[in-house]
Every structure is written in C-alpha cells, then in structure tokens.
Amino acid sequence: MSKPKKNSKKQRHQHELESQVSKSSAMPKLNIYLGVFVFLFGFGLYANTIYHDYAYDDVSVILDNRLTQMGLEGIPDLFTKAYWYGFRGDNYGTYRPLSLITFALEYEFIGNDPHVSHFINVLLYGCTALVLFVVLLRLFNGSIPIAKNQKYVLPLLITLIYIAHPVHTEVVANIKSRDEIMCLLFFLLAMLFILDYLFNKTIQQSNGKSAVYLFLALIFYYLSVISKETAITFIAIIPLTFYFFTKLSTKKILLVSSYFLGIAVIYLMMRLSFLDSFAEGENLAPIDNTIAASMNYSQRFATPVYILMLYLKILFVPHPLIYDYSYKMIDIVEWTNWKAILSFLIHLGLVIWAFKGFRNKDKIAYGIWIYFIPLSLVSNIVILIGSTMAERFLFIPSLGFSFALVFLLIKFFKIEEESGFSISDIIKKNKSLLTVVGLILVFYCFKTVTRNEVWKDNFTLYSADIENTTKSARANLFYGQELLEMGKVEPDPNKKKELFDDTKKYISKAGIIDPTYSDVWLNLGIAYVESGDNKTAIQNYQKVISIDPKYDKAYYNMGNAYFNLKEWTKAEEVYRKAFEINPQYVKAYYNLGNVYLKLNRNNEAIQYYDKALTLDPYYVDIYNNKGNALTNMDEYGKAVEVYKKAITINPNGPMLYNNMGNALNHMKKYDEAIASFKKAIQINPNYESAINNIGVAYFYKKNYKEAINFFSRVLQVNPKDRGAVMNIGFCYQQLGNKKKAKEFFDRAKTI
C-alpha cells in the first residue's frame, strides 16, 4: 500500500494564500450590498459640501496659483516644481504634484467651479470608503481564527467608524486637501492589487494576471506617493500588514515590500532632481510652527510630545474642531509640565503595547502601529515642519485609531461565532456591540455634517472658529481680512465704517499676540488705506519693513499710500524698491507707470507698462492705461490698437470701449466712436461718461438734436452733471435757440 504524498512546500504556501485572500470574482452578494452601502455612506456624509465655495488654502492652491490657472499648459511645471511654486515661487519643501494637476485639468475643461471640485472630493472619499472596506474584507478573510460573520462585521465597523470620524472634515470639505484623500485611496488600491498579485502568483495562473496585478499595485503606489509624501511611511505599513494578516515568510514579505521601496526611491530621486531643497525653509518662524519659538531643548521636544496628547483628545472627543492651531494656540511646555509628562506616559504605554502585541499579532497593536507610523512624519519630533498641528494630519493615522477602537470594543462585547451572512443575522447576534458603535456613529455623523457647514466659505469658517481661536494670531488676522474685504464692497457708509473698525480690532489683536508677524502690519496698513488714513497706513508699512526689509508687498502698498497722497516722488521711490526686491512684480511696474501717467511723463509711463506686459501679457488694466498714455501723446491710432488688444482679452470691459471711442473721436471717426460708446453702455446702461461721449460725438457730427438726446440721458443718470447741462446749452446755441441755450446755461450756474 503506497503512502500518501506529502504536500510540497509550494502547495502548502498556495493553500495558505488561498485561505488568506478572497477571490475577487467570488464576492458574495452581501459584500456587494455592504460595498454599495459604505460608498453611499461616505458620499452622503459630505454631500452638503458640494455647493460650497472655495475656502482657506483653496485660494492659494487653486485661484492664486498661476500654474493651475494655466490648465494643460501648466502641467509640466506642476510636475517638476515644488507644491507652492505656482503661488509664491518657492521651489523647495513639499513635492506633491498630482492633486495640483487635477486642479489644472478642472480649470482647462470646466474653469474655476468650486462645486465641481467639491463633488470630486466627495466622490473620491466615497471611493475611499468602498476600497477600504474591500481591502479589509480581503485581510480578514482567513486571518486569525474568527467566526465567519466577523469577517463582515469587523471590516464594516472599522470602515464606518473611520469614514464617519469628524476629524476628516478639513480634508474632504477643503478642496485643497484632495492630496490626502488621493494618497490614501491610491495606497488602498495598491494594497488591493498586491493581494491579488500574491493570490494569482501562488496558484500559478498561466494567464499573466499576476504580473498585471503587480504592475497595477506599483502604479497605484506611485500615484499615492506623488499625491502626498505621507505615502513614504507606507513602506513600513506594507510589511507590517503582511506580517499581521498573513503567514507569509519574512523573506517573502521583504521581497514584496522591496518593490514598493523601489517606487519610494524613485520618488525621492525625482524630488531631489526637481526641487532646490528638501527643507521647507531654513528658518521657520513661530507663526508657521509654534515649536520654532522654543527657547531650549526641553521645550523643543516636550512640546511636540504634549501635542501628541492633543491629537488623541481630538480622536476620542472631536469637539471643538478648528481650522487653525498656529501661534499661540498651543502653549510651549517644558518637561516639568504635567501635560508633557502625562502625554509621555500615555504614549510610552502605547509603544509598549505595540511592541508586546507585535509577536502575537494583536490587532490593537496593529492599530497603534498604523496610528504612529504616518503621524511620525508630521509630529515635529524628528524634524520641524511648516505647521504646529492640523486636523488633516490625522486623516491617515485615524485609520489606525479606528482599527484599535473596534478591537477594544470587541474585547468587551463578544461577537457571536455562529455562522450567518444576512444583515439581519449580523445585527441580531451582535446587538450590544452594534448599539455602542451605533451611538458613536450617530455622534460622529452629526458632528461631521454640522462641521461641514462651517467650511462653506472663508467668512463662514473664520467667523465660526474665531471664538475657539482667540489665542491665534493667524486666526485673528484671517478674520480681520475677511471683514476688510466685506468693508470694501459695503455701500452703506455707516456699515462700512463699522466693518473697518472691526477689521482694525481683530488685526491689531493679532499684532499683540505676535508683534513680529509682518502680515499683520501689512493688512492693518491696507485697512487704514481703505479708511482713508494713508499716513497711518504708511507707518504700518514701515513697521513691516523694520521686521522684514525684503518684503516687496510692503513697499508696493506703501507706494499706493503715497500715490493716494499725491506724493509722486516717494511713490516712485518705493515702487522701484518693490521690483528691485522682486523683478517679477508686475503691479509695481504698472503702478510706477501710473505715477508717470499722472505726471504727464507719458513716454516713461509706456516704458513701465511695456515692462509689466512682458511679465503678464493678459493684464487688461495695463493695456487700458497704456492706451490712455498714447492718447495723451496724440498717438490716437496706436491707442486704438492697444484698446482693441485689451478688448480681445476682456470683451466685457465698458471702460475699454469708452476710452477707444475717445481716441476715435479725436481721429474724427465719429461713427466708429459712437459704435464703441454704445457698446460700453450696452454692457453698463448707466455708464455716465460713455453716454456723455456719444452726445459729444453727435455734437461734432453737427447732429445737435441727437446730441441733446444723449446729454439728457446723462442727466437721468446724474441730475447734477453740470457738464451735461452746459453741453445741452451749447447744442441749443448751435441750433439758434438762444432762449433755450440761456435756460441751460443759467441752470448750470446753480449746480
């Protein structure tokens, strides 16, 4: 009798993987139903953000980013420059081009539409929920011995708690933070395909699927890492996950992980090649990172350890949530401070648990690892980054928290091990656990949906959070800036004054919190300019320069204040200083040209207008004023060509048509002039100057009756326009009606 053959090592390995990774083609109906549910759950939680406007960093990353605003044309530079290059010209620090490229594509095909951008964020978040659930199903199917129904309950609970957590509102409701969503989504897709690769490779399918799965896994990991550099930490999470959820050998785990390490190395080489520096800046200011204000090593390391406890607090009790944790929202502490000591002890305990649970593959320990690993990159313990603390930094670490929380709960609430795959069976047999989780989810969902509303726009965000950010210099400044913008457009003089007074109040408070924060004094100066107090504004700009002598905007704004005071020589001096510091400062060249235009030095004005236009050939106002300078020089034909160029850029600018009509009038091309003026009033029916100029053109054509008609229309817009009254008198004088002419001349004397 022959002995039964022993399974070969390869066959045993095949059996292990078959029991650990489910086949994608054999997904039961319940998986599909639950998958659809978690997608709709994630999408529905943030559906109320779709009609929001741009807010917070959206403006600098999208609207004020010259590269994203170039659409397809800007993509090569977006791919080869630092994250903030298109906004402030810095080619160092972070390199995460993918989200910026998506914004450029949106601009190219849709334009600046915040609703579409928000929809994409919400859609990506729903997809993240779905893929997370599927990955967890794969990992739990055949891992440590658990009942079959737990293989659905655990992935579902972890996914729901993670997706519902309110700390994610900053990421999903803020368009700019799409980089966080894409980073996690693409990593999860990479995990999904690497699991498929392991399964197909083990069962030795001859159709080449395994190679395709590996290729897709590496592509998705590459997309993850160019979404945000947090993906670098996944190099540690990948082997950790294989260790905790499979029986793969250490050699196999390291081999598979090395593929991803290769992608990470490629990313780092690209970053090194494209950027001028890895660092976010040699000297971080306290306003960027409070820890930079540390006076000694004790403060330098005690403070970030204390901040780790604040992160845990937000995860367990996500209230209140705020958008800003900058200087001085968080106290700098010494190691003698009880908060630092308590945080150290808590985290020491977590580290011990993580290491002790490593050997027996404890899933709470796994959650702790998944929490700590990505958080380490932004913890400020190893290196200082450009932020003290931020809720968005918990987007990926909170997955580890959700994992650990669910396994802590099942330690207290035993899951029934009877098989059963219907939703009703799962609910019936796990009432206690699901009741507690349900209460958590109700709170999380309520907090998420209500917090979403706060992210509607800048004013809603800043005004809602100002009560909880009174210690923050930046929050007070931002709220003051919003009040300033509201004051600029407020038609009621009393309300305008009230808004400007509140502006000064909040911005001044920011200056008290951080007197070295140069943007405070810059914006306070702007507030005084808007209030009509240019001399006080200049004093504030001088304070900016005393803090930062190279701050080009301070010189530019000071030039504007001198311009308002008609101190042309001083305005000329500081505008020159602005573009000496920043040779790309278009507005400084433009406004220096305006100084010369005021002084009737038209040739010099044109010189600086041309310089500005070489830097920004689409700046309509520059063409307009260049045309005015040419008109002053009697170069009417050249002026008309310049106005036409401006109109091709902005065909809806009534002033352009009016000014072009004036030049045509001087050329005695009255019919063309009238057509241009009429285009102006077609755009703005109450454009007084254009209506008057049509009357002037008809006067020169000796069509006095039609001229009277248009001068009369001027008086309908502005009954106190003395010039229009005089012009009607001149028309009647030309018509030989001396009585009517005298009537209007006498009327003009009373105005």
Q: Collapsing DSSP states into helix, strand and coil, what is residue 92?
A: strand
| Cβ atoms of 449 and 44 closer than 8 Å | no
Query: Using one digit for the tens of pLDDT, what is the confidence trace for 299-348?
Result: 999 999 999 999 999 999 999 999 999 999 999 999 999 999 999 999 99
How far is it, in rounded angstroms, from Cα 746 to Cα 117?
Answer: 61
The DSSP letter of residue 333 is: -
Under the banding of pLDDT at 50, 70 and 90, the label for residue 22 is very low
Query: What's the confidence (pLDDT) of residue 274?
Result: 95
Query: What's the confidence (pLDDT) of residue 24?
Result: 40
**Closest alpha carbon to 341 in 363, 311, 309, 379:** 309
**In this structure, how many other beta carbons lie within 10 angstroms of the beta carbon of residue 296?**
9
How far is it, in rounded angstroms, from Cα 270 to Cα 249?
Answer: 32
Conformation bin of residue 59: beta by default, left when phi > 0, alpha when psi is -120 to 50: alpha
How far is it, in rounded angstroms, from Cα 719 to Cα 713?
Answer: 9
Query: What's the confidence (pLDDT) of residue 29?
Result: 74
How far is it, in rounded angstroms, from Cα 114 to Cα 50?
Answer: 8
How is residue 121 written in tokens?
A: 């964020």
| Cβ atoms of 147 and 421 closer than 8 Å | no
Instruction: Kindly state the average pLDDT of the residues 612-623.
Output: 95
The residue whose two tokens read 């399918």 is 205
Per the model's pLDDT, the better-predicted residue between 628 and 427 turns out to be 628
How is residue 91 written in tokens?
A: 């080619």
Tell me the CA distances in angstroms from 316 to 96, 161, 164, 167, 396, one per residue in order. Answer: 30, 12, 13, 10, 15
How is residue 292 written in tokens?
A: 């930079």
| Cβ atoms of 137 and 147 closer than 8 Å | no
| Helix boundaries (H) for 565-703 | 568-581, 586-598, 602-615, 620-632, 636-649, 654-666, 670-683, 688-700
How is residue 136 written in tokens?
A: 């967890």
Is pLDDT above 70 for 554? yes
Query: Using one digit for the tens of pLDDT, what is the confidence trace for 631-664?
Result: 999 999 999 999 999 999 999 999 999 999 999 9
How far is it, in rounded angstroms, from Cα 523 to Cα 509?
Answer: 12
Query: What's the confidence (pLDDT) of residue 211?
Result: 87
Q: End-to-end CA distance of the chain, in Å?
A: 126
How far is it, in rounded angstroms, from Cα 412 to Cα 484?
Answer: 54
Is pLDDT above 80 for 420? no
How far is it, in rounded angstroms, from Cα 89 to Cα 611?
Answer: 20
Identify residue 451 by its one-letter amino acid code.
R
How far is it, in rounded angstroms, from Cα 375 to Cα 388?
Answer: 13
How far is it, in rounded angstroms, from Cα 383 to Cα 387?
Answer: 11
How far is it, in rounded angstroms, from Cα 626 to Cα 643?
Answer: 9
Per the model's pLDDT, the better-predicted residue between 2 and 724 turns out to be 724
How far is it, in rounded angstroms, from Cα 237 to Cα 260?
Answer: 11
**Closest alpha carbon to 167 in 319, 346, 45, 38:** 319
Q: What are phi and psi of 740, to 5 degrees?
A: -65, -40
**122-124-128 Cα angle (round to 5):** 115
Is pLDDT above 80 for 13? no
The residue whose two tokens read 């924060």 is 517
Is pLDDT above 50 for 25? no
Q: CB within 8 A of 524, min separation 6: which ones?
A: 504, 507, 508, 511, 540
How far is it, in rounded angstroms, from Cα 177 to Cα 61?
Answer: 10
Least confident among 62-71, 207-216, 272-281: 272-281
Q: CB within 8 A of 610, min separation 6: which ones?
A: 626
Query: What's the confidence (pLDDT) of residue 93?
Result: 87
**Closest alpha carbon to 662 in 687, 635, 697, 629:** 697
Q: What are phi and psi of 359, to 5 degrees?
A: -65, -40
Mean pLDDT of the chain: 92
How is residue 631 written in tokens?
A: 């008109």
How far is it, in rounded angstroms, from Cα 316 to Cα 66?
Answer: 40
- Helical (H) or strand (E) element with 260: helix 250-274
Query: Using one digit for the tens of pLDDT, what is the confidence trace for 392-416?
Result: 999 999 999 999 999 999 888 776 5
How far is it, in rounded angstroms, from Cα 230 to Cα 396?
Answer: 9
Which string of b and e fits 417-432 if b means at least 16 CB within 10 Å? eeeeeeeeebeebbee
Is pLDDT above 80 for 5? no
**122-177-215 Cα angle (round to 5):** 80
Query: What's the confidence (pLDDT) of residue 643?
Result: 98
Is pLDDT above 80 for 278? no
How far is it, in rounded angstroms, from Cα 174 to Cα 189?
Answer: 23
